[in-house]
Structure 1
Amino acid sequence: MALSISRTHGLISDALDYRAARQDMIASNIANADTPFYRPRDISFEDALAKKAADLQKNDKTTLALAQTNNQHLKPQAQKADYRPTTFFRDGHMARNDGNSVDLDVETTEMSKNSTMFNALIQANKKSGGIYKSVIDASQKVN
């Protein structure tokens, strides 16, 4: 069994991965600002992270186990949840004469928001690690 800091510690690394993927996608949109008929893409992962967080936080003692009346019956299997982000085309902006609908103002704003959230996740990860480091340091001073 692996040592786990908390149930939700893995969510931070998942969120960092998704934020990095979104940063790459926004950079790709900016790079294709002059490509004819290019439609900007985006990635939505907030729902996937919320679903995973809810599954991690639920209390397993409240779920009812399936009774097996005969040993030859099939064993119940847990359903795997789908935590994958979804990609979509970000529409709603007027396409130019060449069919391209990339709006540089929107893309740079989204990149700035994504970068801010990425930095906030990094700080949360550092703070989480700092709490456990201070506990370990304090326990060494007790002896």
Structure 2
Amino acid sequence: MDLFSGTISNLENGLAYAAVKNKTIAQNIANNDTPNYKAKDVSFKKMLTEAQNTYIQANRTDQRHFDFTTKNSTPGVYSYSNLRYRENGNGVDMDKEQASLAENTIFYNALVDRINGKLNTLQTVIKGGN
């Protein structure tokens, strides 16, 4: 039985996306002065596609069965290959990264608030409305 018709799992997936995006932004900011570093970003569409392909698991009971393998890379993360902001080849735009970090933090906090609301509702139901 699914208590919230998948709402909690959808919010959980949103939190996973926000966490990956936050990690990627933090890496970009940390490598602001690294020569030839190419800025990375996270695409929800790519992350969803790769997640659907990555989590397929199969039990091989015969040598003739296909082997399903998973990727070790972080889903949805990609580099800007030919982007340069400075003469040393670095592709990090600090203003863009800081704005993206602020936007992602707001998104993450909104998801956490929504999950807290769902869990508080469940707690109220369990306690009988008290």
Same fold per superposition (TM over 0.5): yes
Q: Deviations over 1:83-136 (max 9, x none)?
A: x94222247864211011101000000011111100000000000111111122
The residue identity in structure 2 corresponding to 1:7 is: S
Aligned residue number for residue 16 of structure 1: 15
C-alpha distance in 1, partners of 2:85/2:45?
28
Please tell me whether the aligned partners of residues 38 and 99 of structure 1 are also in contact (alpha carbons under 8 angstroms).
Answer: yes
Determine whether 1:108 maps to 2:98.
Answer: yes
Please tell me whether the aligned partners of residues 41 and 78 of structure 2 are also in contact (alpha carbons under 8 angstroms).
Answer: yes
Q: Deviations over 1:20-77 (max 9, x none)?
A: 111111000001011111111011125729xx8xxxxxxxxxxxxxxxxxxxxxxxxx
C-alpha distance in 2, partners of 1:92/1:116?
30
Determine whether 1:86 maps to 2:85.
Answer: no
Q: Which of the pair has more CA radius of gyration?
A: 1
C-alpha distance in 1, partners of 2:40/2:79?
4
How many residue pairs end up in the alignment? 106
- Identity over aligned pairs, percent: 29
Instruction: Give ranges in structure 2 of 5+ residues lacking alignment.
Output: 53-73
Please tell me whether the aligned partners of residues 45 and 85 of structure 1 are also in contact (alpha carbons under 8 angstroms).
Answer: no
Aligned residue number for residue 124 of structure 1: 114
Please tell me whether the aligned partners of residues 38 and 83 of structure 2 are also in contact (alpha carbons under 8 angstroms).
Answer: no
Q: What is the 5 A alignment of 1:1-143?
A: 4-8=2-6, 9-45=8-44, 48=48, 85-90=75-80, 94-138=84-128
Structure 1 SS opposite 2:98: helix
Aligned-residue CA RMSD (Å): 2.6
Instruction: Give ranges in structure 1 of 5+ residues lacking alignment.
Output: 53-83
C-alpha distance in 2, partners of 1:112/1:91?
24
Please tell me whether the aligned partners of residues 29 and 102 of structure 1 are also in contact (alpha carbons under 8 angstroms).
Answer: yes
The TM-score with structure 1 as length reference comes to 0.63
Q: How far did residue 4 of structure 1 move?
A: 2.9
Structure 1 SS opposite 2:89: coil
